Amino acid sequence: MSTSAEKIIENNWDQVKKEMRKSWRELTEDQVNDINNYDDLVKALKKSYDITEDKVKEKIDKFIDQFEPEENPNRFEELKKSLHESSESAKEKIGKTADNIREKTSDWADYAINYSKENPLKLLGLGVLAAVTIKKILEK
């Protein structure tokens, strides 16, 4: 890990410590309290996750990115773009679902109208049956 990343950990220690438990749930509170520097963090993660030192350092590098916006000036734009793409995708899916519901509702409404025109007595009977059923339910 670069010296600048070690400085980022050192300069943001309180915030880093809070985020450690969120990011690495396998670390116990005691382990987090015993971590005083980068090397301690590497040892604790290796022990808790049983992974190689290289993998630990990769995880730490990704974790540290959130504390170093000056080294990744495009991060905000990347996140904004990703959020926009996600919202557009959600809008599209919601629109398709709404269209599908409208289509099915319209089909059902057309069927009900046609049925009532063709079978007015049956419809009246169904209405009476529904009213009696509702009355019995409400009486309970």
Q: What is the pLDDT of residues 66-92, one digit of tens each?
A: 765 555 566 667 767 777 788 888 888
Question: Rounded to 10 degrees, what is the CA torsion of 89, 95, 97, 103?
Answer: -150
The one-letter amino acid at 56 = V
Q: Mind listing the pLDDT tens digit for each residue in 51-67?
A: 888 888 888 888 877 76
The last residue of one of the domains, among 41, 71, 101, is: 71
- Ranges of residues in the chain with a pLDDT under 70 are 1-5, 67-76, 79
Domain that holds residue 8: 3-71
The last residue of one of the domains, among 25, 40, 71, is: 71
Q: What is the pTM of this model?
A: 0.44
Cα–Cα nearest to 68, from 1, 3, 8: 8
The last residue of one of the domains, among 22, 46, 71, is: 71
Supply angle C-alpha 10, 15, 17, rounded to 5: 75
Cα diameter, the chain: 86
Same domain? 63 vs 110: no
Please state the domain count of the chain: 2
Same domain? 16 vs 64: yes
Same domain? 31 vs 54: yes
Same domain? 37 vs 97: no
Q: Is 50 left (phi over 0), alpha (psi -120 to 50) or beta?
A: left
